[in-house]
């Protein structure tokens, strides 16, 4: 069995971090078997190296090795790509085609970004893992294949399973052995080593002197979060090698090539409403309720003014505008039929009201105002209660009830429909 260091040299892997060495060690141990392997890790950490190691150290090394990027193949054609199709099975299928599982029989298939597979394709893949059988698109003939499957993903598989985007049974079949590659920020001792390797490679490629970092620039390099991992570090090294005339790179120069999000602080994502959001909503609700209370108080003042001096013509116009402000335009005019005389008058004193003492009526309105102040948030309940009492007192006569309540008969009619009285 080859040593870890020999494998690194053979496959061009740079780094001495313990977690990286452990991942390579697991790949070496599992390679001689036919166990399915799932390689996990963030985008750009170099997951594609692990399936190559597994294939080259296995008994399948003389057969085909096919790498498939599942996220790059359209959903409508991925079944045909993986399993093949029969002639005429769909529009454009002018001839029979072999899929990757048929071509790679006896070899290894690397399914990169396996978390992007559609659910229908996952079912087909599960069947291959269980008994090596598959069906071409448009065929009813069961075919056999003997392939080693190594998959890789940067998706959190448990979240994908919870959201029903990935089958749980398929996950456990793929991840018989799970090999995790650490992100670059967890490989502090490897960052500068990798940068020097990339700088040397690009110097040879572009026939230019190798760039070097100052001590301050090295510290800047180590402090950066490297969200794109090894791929991002390689791109920065290439940019500096090509664009910078001065081959000694200062910290200021390096910072100009790094994205602004170079802080080590984690990103904070807002996932729910904060207390301030709910507070602002409560303030808006309270304001609307207080505005309604003010409008109702204005109605009461107009009612008292009318009762004192009986000047209905001047008050009537103001009262109608206030009613419209509170209740909006009347949408039930087509259904409403006037009983007799002018029932559109919003505030009118019924004929029998002369039998009541004016002071008692005033006391009644003051009492209602006190109740409203005590129970500001139950206006609807009080409104329903008052309408019921008024209708009962006047034996269901809407005109008399509306006059007593201080609203138009038309508005009362709408309220009766609203509360299903």
268 part of a folded domain: no
Determine phi and psi for 213, rounding to 5 degrees. Answer: -105, 145
Higher-scoring residue by pLDDT: 291, 151: 151
Residues 6+ apart with CB under 8 A from 235: 228
Same domain, 117 and 54: yes
Quote the pLDDT of residue 273: 47
Does the pLDDT of residue 125 top 70, yes or no?
yes
Higher-scoring residue by pLDDT: 297, 152: 152
Quote the pLDDT of residue 324: 58
Higher-scoring residue by pLDDT: 97, 409: 97
Reading the block at residue 200, the tokens are 């040397």
- CATH code (residue 164): 3.40.50.300
C-alpha distance from residue 349 to each of 215, 295, 416 (Å): 93, 21, 21
Higher-scoring residue by pLDDT: 411, 329: 411
Does the pLDDT of residue 142 top 80, yes or no?
yes
Residues 6+ apart with CB under 8 A from 127: 133, 134
405 part of a folded domain: yes
Quote the pLDDT of residue 349: 38
Distance CA 101, CA 108 (A): 9
Quote the pLDDT of residue 380: 74
74 part of a folded domain: yes
Distance CA 233, CA 191 (A): 8
- Least confident among 168-177, 302-311, 343-352: 343-352
Same domain, 342 and 329: yes
Domain count, the chain: 3
Higher-scoring residue by pLDDT: 264, 127: 127
Give residue-wise pLDDT tens across range 20-32: 999 999 999 999 9
Quote the pLDDT of residue 79: 93
Is the CB of residue 116 less than 8 Å from the CB of residue 70? yes
282 part of a folded domain: no
Same domain, 163 and 44: yes
Give residue-wise pLDDT tens across range 230-252: 999 999 999 999 999 999 999 99
Distance CA 286, CA 291 (A): 9
Among the candidates 156, 182, 208, a domain finishes at 182
Rounded to an integer, the average pLDDT of 33-41 is 96
Same domain, 310 and 392: yes
Q: How confident is the model at residue 258 (pLDDT cuts 50, 70, 90)?
A: very high
Same domain, 125 and 11: yes
Cα 205 off chain centre by: 43
Reading the block at residue 376, the tokens are 């500001």
Domain range for 90 is 4-182
Does the pLDDT of residue 375 top 90, yes or no?
no
Same domain, 136 and 171: yes
Burial of 121: CB neighbours in 10 Å, binned 0-12, 13-18, 19+: buried
* pTM for the structure as a whole: 0.61
Please count the helices (runs of H) and the strands (runs of E) in the chain: 18, 11
Does the pLDDT of residue 257 top 60, yes or no?
yes
Give residue-wise pLDDT tens across range 55-64: 999 999 999 9
Reading the block at residue 12, the tokens are 């061009």
Same domain, 242 and 316: no
Q: How confident is the model at residue 322 (pLDDT cuts 50, 70, 90)?
A: low
Mean pLDDT (the chain) is 82
- CATH code (residue 208): 1.10.8.60
Does the pLDDT of residue 337 top 50, yes or no?
no
């Amino acid at each position: 069995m080859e040593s870890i260091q020999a494998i690194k040299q053979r496959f061009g892997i740079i780094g001495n971090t313990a977690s990286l060495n452990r991942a390579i060690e697991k790949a070496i141990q599992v390679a001689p078997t036919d166990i399915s392997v799932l390689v996990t890790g963030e985008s750009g950490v170099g997951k594609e190296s692990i399936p190559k190691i597994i294939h080259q150290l296995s008994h399948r090394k003389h057969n085909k090795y096919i790498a498939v990027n599942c996220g790059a193949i359209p959903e409508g054609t991925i079944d045909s790509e993986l399993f093949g199709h029969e002639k005429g099975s769909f529009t454009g299928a002018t001839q029979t085609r072999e899929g990757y599982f048929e071509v790679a029989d006896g070899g290894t298939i690397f399914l990169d970004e396996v978390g992007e597979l559609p659910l229908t394709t996952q079912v087909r893949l599960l069947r291959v893992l269980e008994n090596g059988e598959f069906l071409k698109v448009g065929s009813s003939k069961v075919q056999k294949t003997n392939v080693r499957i190594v998959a890789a993903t940067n998706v959190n598989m448990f979240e994908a399973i919870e959201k029903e985007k990935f089958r749980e049974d398929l996950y456990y079949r793929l991840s018989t052995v799970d090999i995790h590659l650490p992100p670059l920020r967890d490989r502090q001792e490897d960052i500068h080593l990798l940068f020097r390797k990339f700088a040397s490679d690009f110097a040879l490629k572009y026939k230019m002197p190798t760039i070097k970092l100052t001590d301050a620039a090295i510290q800047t390099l180590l402090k950066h979060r490297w969200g794109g991992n090894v791929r991002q570090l390689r791109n920065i090294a290439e940019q500096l090698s090509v664009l910078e005339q001065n081959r000694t790179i200062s910290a200021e120069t390096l910072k100009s090539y790094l994205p602004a999000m170079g802080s080590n602080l984690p990103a904070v994502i807002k996932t729910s409403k904060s207390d301030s959001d709910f507070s602002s909503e409560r303030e808006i609700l309270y304001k609307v309720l207080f505005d309604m209370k003010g409008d109702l108080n204005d109605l009461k003042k107009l009612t008292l003014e009318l009762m004192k001096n009986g000047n209905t013509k001047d008050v009537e116009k103001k009262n109608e505008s206030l009613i419209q402000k509170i209740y909006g335009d009347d949408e039930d005019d087509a259904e409403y039929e006037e009983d007799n005389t002018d029932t559109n008058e919003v505030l009118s004193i019924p004929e029998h009201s002369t039998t009541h003492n004016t002071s008692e009526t005033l006391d009644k309105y003051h009492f209602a105002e006190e109740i409203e102040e005590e129970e500001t948030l139950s206006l609807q309940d009080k409104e329903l209660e008052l309408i019921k009492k008024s209708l009962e007192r006047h034996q269901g006569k809407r005109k008399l009830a509306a006059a007593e309540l201080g609203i138009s008969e038309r508005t009362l009619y709408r309220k009766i429909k609203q509360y299903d009285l």
